[in-house]
Amino acid sequence: MSHDLELVERANATGRIPAVFVHGLWLLPSSWDRWAGVFAEAGFAPVTAGWPDDPDTVEEAREHPEVFADKTVAQVADHLSELIGRLSRRPVVIGHSFGGLLTQILAGHGLARASVAITPAPFQGVLPLPLSALRAAAPVLGNPANRHRAVPLTFEQFRYAFTNAVSEEEARELFEEFAVAAPGAPLFQAAAANFNPWSEVKVDSLAEDRGPLLIISGKRDHAVPWAIANASYKIQERNERHVTEIVEIPNRGHSLTIDMGWREVCDTALNFVQRFV
């Protein structure tokens, strides 16, 4: 939290519009470092927000994976809402995977002047469940005890869920540089969202102050295939007050924010928010 507050204070001191970046499962805020540099050059004040208790480094995260356990969607959303509430200007929000889900939750609360959800995890009402998404989630969902655990991925599991669209060599480099354990709870919450009326995995897609929203999908994404991303878009586009768009990036998998093609995705997000900011 202290690191997040430092970034918020730094952003406020610039007087610029903040760009809040929200990571997903198995990654840390540092996965956004290159994006933060691009957005800073474009005149934004980047805030690479953490989840509660996120370690500062990948090395620390691997030494103490237990810190990730039992983090729920509502806990993370509340944490991010509090951080955004400390910003002096309403930010743009960009999130990946479960960070993309959280981005849409925050936008539904009126906290984003524009938002980009990249290969976003599904929310209540998103019905498609492709086999590749089930396989990508199996390392967690395959054991009910993982609901309260921090779960790391093996390289083979990371290769299937994240880096299927890059070379074996790059996949291993990305695994070594970025992969950490993740809480099992959010995946169980997402899996049960359509069967639980009280689910925390809800998005107010019709909110009057939602703001413009772009959903980005990777054409070769196993974890969040086009069917899921497009179903999210179909729900979000019912908001007649605000622009809702979707774009599919060719030849990219779930690692599209960190792999060799990251800049194309980053520029796509930046170009969108610059239309409205």
pTM across the whole model: 0.97
Per-residue pLDDT of 142-189, as tens digits, reads: 999 999 999 999 999 999 999 999 999 999 999 999 999 999 999 999
At residue 205, does pLDDT exceed 70? yes
Q: How many of the other CB atoms lie within 10 Å of CB of 149?
A: 19
Comparing CA positions, the residue from 268, 253, 247 lying closest to residue 39 is: 268
Q: In the chain, what are the domain boundaries?
A: 2-274
> Taking a C-beta distance cutoff of 8 angstroms, is the pair 96, 89 a contact?
no
At residue 2, does pLDDT exceed 80? no
The architecture (CATH level 2) of 2-274 comes to 3-Layer(aba) Sandwich (3.40)
Per-residue pLDDT of 214-230, as tens digits, reads: 999 999 999 999 999 99
Q: What does the block give as tokens for 155?
A: 């390289």
Dihedral (CA of 102, 18, 244, 209) sign: positive
Confidence of residue 1 (pLDDT cuts 50, 70, 90): low
Confidence of residue 3 (pLDDT cuts 50, 70, 90): confident
> Taking a C-beta distance cutoff of 8 angstroms, is the pair 139, 157 a contact?
yes
